[in-house]
Structure 1
Amino acid sequence: MSRQPGDADENKGGLPRISNQLSRASKSRAGMWFWEVDRVLLFLPLLLIAIGLVAVAAASPATARRYSDATHIVQPMYYFWRQLMWVCICVPVLILVSMLPTSLARRLSLAGALVFLGLMMLLPIIGHEVNGAKRWISLGISDLQPSEFLKPMFIVSTAWILSFRAKDPELPVMIVTGAITALIAVLLMLQPDFGQTILFGTVWVILLMLSGISPAAIASLGGMAVAGVVAAYLFYGTARTRIDNFLFPTKEAALADRYQVEMAHDTLTAGGLFGAGPGSGQIKFRLPEAHTDYIFSVIGEEFGLIACGIIVLLYLAIVVRVLMKLLDEEDPFRLLAAAGLASQFGVQALINMAVNTGIAPSKGMTLPFISYGGSSMIALSIGYGLLLAFTRRNPYLKRSPYTGRWSKAA
């Protein structure tokens, strides 16, 4: 068969073929994904990851100095290069998960929830202890934190159970999901991890409210939440210590939790509106866990409060964008799953920033896509990939404003 005049140019370098794969007429998986995925929601986490790399580069020298001693010297940019490695892993994970069909994403999430719940049960036996907490499983090159991976799986599984309420309001879905949440809370408090316990409970309540439970049930949940906090203070030593150190600081507390909160606040505000400049921050060298829990404060010192405000707006933009996408969603499962994942993302960011600003006691929770960490980055990528998968829309369908039905776009 003879070659047409433009054939050599079209195949050169393979670029036109890639373009054809992503064209609107393409029916390939990559082509359909490219047009179905919300590209604003895809761009925002990539922007946060880029900001995170800059922030970890700023925090790395401080953390390296803290963990260096006479026998072990940590290179100043060690944590930056490690974070760059995790980014190279997590970005492909995010994209691959976002390409999953809804049914497969649901099945894998249900299976993953069982696996990571089982690993959490095994933590007292096989867990690796760090700073008095048994939250990790050592894998040699890194540590695996099962609760980080369980979060998105738990949300999808809970959304799936609650979605049955749309078919039969009499099903005891609130009791079933409440029992699962209580089991996870007990396992988390045994680690101990009070911050993650609050996060799981908050997201469960949000999902219940979105599923349409009665006002009486919501009031009962509010009463149970207050009772739970009081019980935690009375019978759970970790919660009592954290609350006491935050509300009633003593000399001992000033050397522990209160010191961290106050130092984070001082670091955050040291740079003023525009910051001291990249690499010019000095208070960060006295800040514990500058690359993880308190990286928001490092951003404040080096890049200013305006930069912190922009980051807050980016997180808010993600949540608002998801809610706007779900306004006309008819599938109860997709609605609950996507809203729950967005809520987890937003609540986790809110808790971390509240700790950094001194509004809340220290909880050991990372800032999504910005803080350093392997488990956290990959788990967040899986969760955000699921969020993108559940908010994808067929580009060839358009919903009628009159009938509410989906049909082929003109």
Structure 2
Amino acid sequence: MNMETTIAKTVTTAKGRRAFGDYLGRSHKGPLGEWFWEIDRVLLLLVTILISIGLIGVAAASPAAAERYSGESLQFPQLYYFYRQLIWLGAGIPLMLVISTMPKELAKRFALAGAVCFFILLLLVPFLGNEVNGARRWIGYGVATLQPSEFLKPFFIVATAWLLSLRFTQDPTLPVVWATAILTGVIALLLMRQPDFGQTVIFGSVWIVMLMISGVSPKLLGGLSALAVAGLGAAYFFYPVATTRINNFLFAEGDSYQVDNAMRTLTNGGIFGTGPGDGEMKYRLPEPHTDYIFSVIGEEFGLIACLAIALIFGAIVIRVFVKLIDEENIFYLLASAGLATQFAIQALINMAVNLDMAPSKGMTLPFISYGGSSLIALSIGFGLLLAFTRRNPHLPALDRRL
């Protein structure tokens, strides 16, 4: 009897494994099986590694952040921000996966609707926004507070890609370049008013890269480059926030406490770091769990860990652009390239600030820094990237056009 029971359990288990394997098999036509074979599993693995590193980094930075932000009437536990990061990831990761399962056309419509929604919210920030540390960037109250500019970034990229693609799919004479220029300019003005110079740089940089990829004339690109230089000059002379930060960086004027301590913290651990929990310089950083988490990781896990993070970001961007080599749909090409560029520029700015190579901009490190709006918005953006880079492995390259 015992032998029969054992055999029955073995057969049941084998059937269960085979059924699960069949469900994810290439021959299975269900949504999960289709998603599993079409998704770029390398990209999914790389972002999973980043998220895991981020959890370790937030755990390392959480005691310093909790000590800094604990007032007389409130004492945060040492891992307060780590536990909150788990909550944000619990919302962000499922959202990213759900978006990645969307059909490409549905993902595009979702992003266009999001662009309209968060552009309107950005317009309302000057009137309804909450002021924190002299900046008015957030809307809402308590846990329902969000930063519209963070969510607008991925949606803006998809909307810009859609507009630029109309030159190829509808009418080459449509003034879509100027339409995207006006949209970018309005967003830049709204961000500068908050003020948020760092986000303005990202929106403008991504827009120029997408114009380059869409094949606009070199003459126009040259004019835009000259305009961008003139804009930076005007910002330096007439925009106090930019003036202060650039002077602090170039001439060591004013308070350079943040970037100086970030660099000292980053190099304090040497090549292999002081060890988890043994960092001391992190307690002097103003935002150890967000803007300067890269320095905290450098102190406790060493410069080799920082190099590994930079390589992972580089691998993600290279992977996306390699996959786009044979992409024939101009919209998916522009949208995917724009999303990868935004991801790269944001990471590059954050790491440059921590290395004292750029003025402080209040920019988080994607999927590694602690954050609510930032993490959810990045999850949406990466979910769209995974959706737009999905490929049917059974179809030849020439049949991928939708």
TM-score (norm 2): 0.95
Partner SS, residue 76 of structure 2 = coil
Q: CA separation in 2, counterparts of 1:289 and 1:7?
A: 55
Higher helix content, 1 or 2: 2
Q: Which amino acid aligns with 1:242?
A: R
Q: Could you tell me which residue of structure 1 aligns to residue 128 of structure 2?
A: 126
2:172 aligned with 1:169, yes or no?
A: yes
Verify the 8 A CA contact 1:64 1:75 in the aligned structure 2.
yes
Verify the 8 A CA contact 1:10 1:17 in the aligned structure 2.
no
Deviation readout 1:157-200 (Å, 9 max, x if unpaired):
00000011224332211100000000100110111100000000
2:293 aligned with 1:295, yes or no?
A: yes
Q: CA separation in 2, counterparts of 1:366 and 1:169?
A: 38
Partner SS, residue 247 of structure 1 = helix
TM-aligned CA deviation for residue 70 of structure 1: 2.2
From 365, 368, 371, the equivalent of 1:367 is 365
Q: Which amino acid aligns with 1:42?
A: L
Partner SS, residue 134 of structure 1 = strand
Verify the 8 A CA contact 1:315 1:349 in the aligned structure 2.
yes
Q: CA separation in 2, counterparts of 1:318 and 1:142?
A: 31
How do 1:223-302 and structure 2 match up within 5 A?
223-250=226-253, 253-254=254-255, 258-302=256-300
TM-aligned CA deviation for residue 13 of structure 1: 9.6
Partner SS, residue 396 of structure 2 = strand
Q: Could you tell me which residue of structure 1 aligns to residue 3 of structure 2?
A: none
How do 1:22-171 and structure 2 match up within 5 A?
22-167=24-169, 168-171=171-174
Partner SS, residue 143 of structure 2 = coil
Q: CA separation in 2, counterparts of 1:238 and 1:61?
A: 30
**Where does the alignment leave 5 or more consecutive residues of structure 1 unmatched?**
400-404
Partner SS, residue 192 of structure 1 = coil
Q: Could you tell me which residue of structure 1 aligns to residue 399 of structure 2?
A: 406
Q: CA separation in 2, counterparts of 1:238 and 1:383?
A: 28
Q: Could you tell me which residue of structure 2 aligns to residue 307 of structure 1?
A: 305
Q: CA separation in 2, counterparts of 1:52 and 1:323?
A: 24
Partner SS, residue 142 of structure 2 = coil
Partner SS, residue 135 of structure 1 = strand
Q: CA separation in 1, counterparts of 2:15 and 2:146?
A: 41
Q: CA separation in 2, counterparts of 1:69 and 1:88?
A: 28
Deviation readout 1:244-294 (Å, 9 max, x if unpaired):
2222223xx22xxx1101010000010100000000000000001000000
Partner SS, residue 397 of structure 1 = coil
State the superposition RMSD in angstroms: 1.7
TM-aligned CA deviation for residue 207 of structure 1: 0.2
Q: CA separation in 2, counterparts of 1:137 and 1:75?
A: 27
Q: For residues 372 and 142 of structure 1, do their structure 2 counterparts lie closer, same or farther at Cα, with a shift above 3 Å needed? A: farther
Q: CA separation in 2, counterparts of 1:315 and 1:175?
A: 32
Partner SS, residue 129 of structure 1 = strand
Q: CA separation in 2, counterparts of 1:17 and 1:241?
A: 63
**Where does the alignment leave 5 or more consecutive residues of structure 2 unmatched?**
1-6
TM-aligned CA deviation for residue 129 of structure 1: 1.2
TM-score (norm 1): 0.93
Q: How many residues align?
A: 393
Q: CA separation in 1, counterparts of 2:98 and 2:152?
A: 19
Deviation readout 1:19-71 (Å, 9 max, x if unpaired):
32211111111110000001001111111000000000000000001011322
Bigger Cα displacement from structure 2, 226-235 vs 54-63: 226-235
Partner SS, residue 327 of structure 1 = helix
% identity of equivalent residues: 59
TM-aligned CA deviation for residue 14 of structure 1: 5.4
Q: CA separation in 2, counterparts of 1:275 and 1:344?
A: 30
Bigger Cα displacement from structure 2, 326-335 vs 123-132: 123-132
